[in-house]
Amino acid sequence: MAAIELTLENVDKEVLNEKGIVIVDFWATWCGPCKILLPIFESLSSEIEEVKICQVNVDEQTELVEQFDVMTVPTLMIFKDGKVVSTSVGKKTKADILEMLKNI
């Protein structure tokens, strides 16, 4: 399953009203570390079916950047039942992300 591209129109449905765990990756096309994370998320989306993976292009979705107070990319936010339970800034390995999920 590919990552869901979040917009102001679908963020409530896909994240804030979602029961369960959602990872949101705030990224930009010009961000080198963001590009490194892309294949990791593609891999995770096929391995962990119980976690929804979403992405926000910060250049296209400035309202969401403001709403979630994102200051830099990449920023990962993990939501559980619509609430932020973990935030991480900077490049992460697949093991780092799995560890974050394990601690939720």
Angle at 97 between CA 69 and CA 56, to 5 degrees: 40
31 is an active site residue: yes
Find the catalytic residue in 24, 34, 56, 73: 34
Counting beta carbons within 10 angstroms of the beta carbon of residue 74, is it exposed (0 to 12), middle (13 to 18) or buried (19 or more)?
buried
34 is an active site residue: yes
The Cα–Cα gap between 104 and 85 comes to 7
Find the catalytic residue in 28, 31, 84, 89: 31
Which residues are marked as active site? 31, 34
